[in-house]
Amino acid sequence: MQEQSVDAVEAVIKAASIPREAAEKIEHGTPAFRRTNFSLFAAGFATFALLYCVQPLMPLFSEDFGVSAAGASLALSLTTGFLAVSMLAAGVLSEAWGRKPIMVVSLLLSGVLTLVCAVLPHWPTLLAVRALMGVALSGLPAVAMAYVGEEMHPRSLGLAMGLYVGGTGFGGMAGRLLTGVITDIWGWRTAVTVIGVLGVMCAAILWRYLPASRHFTRRELRLAPLSRAFSTHLRDGILPWLFAEGFLLMGAFVTVYNYVGYRLIAPPFSLSQTEIGLIFAVYVCGIVSSAWMGSLSGWLGRRAVLPVTLTLMLAGTLITLSGELWLIVVGIAVLTIGFFGTHSVASAWVGARAQTGKAQASSLYLFAYYLGSSVVGSLGGVFWNLCGWYGVIAMTSTLLLAAIAIAQWLRVRSA
């Protein structure tokens, strides 16, 4: 997704065997490579722009629909919750129905549903459509990496995966920033409409330019082997703790991003939506840190790096308690750097630990990851209502302390 690690990419590369027909696969420097990566970059961009465009709008949802901060957070939490569950099935369905059809339909439906959200007058119906969007959107991130692994020449696999991941990170940032700017000028409904149109356009690009699968083999839907793979991972001595780390780190990260807008839009800061959106540009720091932390973990080892990146997240979270705007921005930047680094290390560790059924192990990690966004992201609204920003930070700091404790245990346990 929005946030995949260089280590994870390397794991995919190492896992990819070089088939006899490798010469027929898509290779760097060819027109097919340019078309494929243009379409996948657009798809990654649209996926995360559609998903996160509502995050900076939560204070406006509270005002327009008369809902609490926790209630407004459901616009994102329901989407990520249904996305988490649906991703477990989407990859399996693509084994029977094909990669490209699942991805195109997924993105097109998500764009159309976003356009519907822009005109809905009632909060419950908007939430229902955002929940459906989580189901629809699951087909793209669950399948895109499988497509790249199958269709790209081994020599070009790393670059192709990096471009797709870059699109997801850019989409996560641009979706928040673009929404904030347009909202200030024309209102949030226009902003959501623009994001929806971009989603539909990117679906058209994906349909038009993404080559059909040439190295995909259809398989029957068989639940028994799938259940055995999931069960094996859940009985592993390390993997469930890594899944827990995904839940905790994403829950803490999304909670801070969900409610910082409520703090900054109110006095004494009184920032506009555009100004709040500009703060999300710190995402660039996170995208860069993902690659850097991935390389660092390869040198020092994941066991050593994971507690450090989680401590960075905790430090950034605590810095946002400051009453100075520039320190709040620094805190969000440090949190974002730590988050991307932690996700990079944890997701790569999952891929390295799972000896068989790596796709199922990744699915379980992403399930926990997005479940954390959904559950903790909404729970943070309760703490905001009770104790304001101090309540939000108290909750997220507790989660991060638990994550650091798990990381330290993993450091000893897996030594």
Q: What is the pLDDT of residues 161-214, one digit of tens each?
A: 556 666 777 888 888 888 989 999 999 999 999 999 999 999 999 999 998 877
Give mean pLDDT, residues 285-307. 72
Q: How far apart are CA 187 and CA 184, in angstroms?
A: 6
Whether the predicted pLDDT of 302 surpasses 80: no
Q: What is the pLDDT of residues 218-257, one digit of tens each?
A: 666 666 666 777 788 888 888 999 999 999 999 999 999 9
Q: How far is CA 60 from the centre of its chain?
A: 23
Q: How far apart are CA 246 and CA 253, in angstroms?
A: 11
Whether the predicted pLDDT of 23 surpasses 60: no
- Is 204 buried (19+), middle (13-18) or exposed (0-12) by CB count in 10 A? middle
The reported pLDDT for the residue numbered 14 is: 47
Residue 56, preceding peptide bond in cis (omega within 30° of 0): no
The reported pLDDT for the residue numbered 291 is: 61
Q: Kindly report the length of the chain.
A: 415
Helix 58-65 / helix 239-265 crossing angle, nearest 10 deg: 60
Whether the predicted pLDDT of 20 surpasses 70: no
Higher-pLDDT residue of 222 and 263 is 263
User: Which DSSP state fits 213?
Assistant: P
Joined together, the tokens standing for residue 370 give 């997005």
The reported pLDDT for the residue numbered 116 is: 97
**Mean pLDDT, the chain, whole residue set:** 84
Q: What is the pLDDT of residues 375-390, one digit of tens each?
A: 999 999 999 999 999 9
Give mean pLDDT, residues 129-151. 83
Work out the pLDDT band at 41, boundaries 50, 70, 90. Answer: confident
Sign of the CA dihedral with 142 first, then 144, 150, and 156 last: negative
Whether the predicted pLDDT of 158 surpasses 90: no
Give mean pLDDT, residues 137-149. 76
Whether the predicted pLDDT of 156 surpasses 70: no
The reported pLDDT for the residue numbered 4 is: 45
Percent of the chain with pLDDT over 70: 82
Asked if 211 and 32 count as a contact pair (C-beta separation under 8 A), the reply is yes
> What are the chain's domains?
6-413 (1.20.1250.20)
Q: How far apart are CA 146 and CA 366, in angstroms?
A: 15
Whether the predicted pLDDT of 6 surpasses 70: no
Give mean pLDDT, residues 280-306. 73
Asked if 369 and 342 count as a contact pair (C-beta separation under 8 A), the reply is no
Asked if 49 and 172 count as a contact pair (C-beta separation under 8 A), the reply is yes
Q: How far apart are CA 78 and CA 161, in angstroms?
A: 28
